[in-house]
Amino acid sequence: MGFSISALLTKASGNSKRSSHTSQAVGIIHDLNYSTIRINNMPRFKATVKYMGIEKVFEPLDPNTHLSLSVGDKAVIMYNPSNVNDSHFDFKASVKLKRKG
């Protein structure tokens, strides 16, 4: 059984997508910075998002996050309806939402 470093870092950081993430909320990005995590020597990003009265840091995010999203943009957060803190930053859906306007 093998694990990729990328998968392990994502799981350890708490930004892993799970089947229990069946509900969706739209939050606002309050902070966007480089993460201390690098995968395949590529810098990753972290975003602080406020959704449903919760402010949470999501990392590591896609290396192109800073090219697609900015502070003040909306972010799509998928979460477990039994525990809104158990959540995942949906990068692709967030970019799609931004492009919709």
CATH number, domain at 92? Answer: 2.40.50.100
- Exposed/middle/buried for 49, CB within 10 Å: 0-12, 13-18, 19+? buried
pTM recorded for the entire structure: 0.80
Sign of the alpha-carbon torsion through 96, 70, 5, 21: negative
**Into how many domains does the chain fold?**
1
Of all residues in the chain, the percent with pLDDT exceeding 90 is 57
Q: Are the beta carbons of 76 and 87 closer than 8 angstroms?
A: no
* Average of per-residue pLDDT across 75-99: 95
Task: Answer yes or no: is pLDDT of 14 > 70.
Answer: no
Please choose, from the candidates 84, 14, 81, 99, the residue with its C-alpha nearest in 3D space to the C-alpha of residue 53: 84
Reduce the DSSP state of residue 63 to 3 states and report it.
coil
User: Tokens for 64?
Assistant: 């192109």
Of all residues in the chain, the percent with pLDDT exceeding 70 is 83
DSSP type of residue 6 = H
Boundaries of domain holding 68: 5-100
**pLDDT tens digits along 75-84:** 999 999 999 9
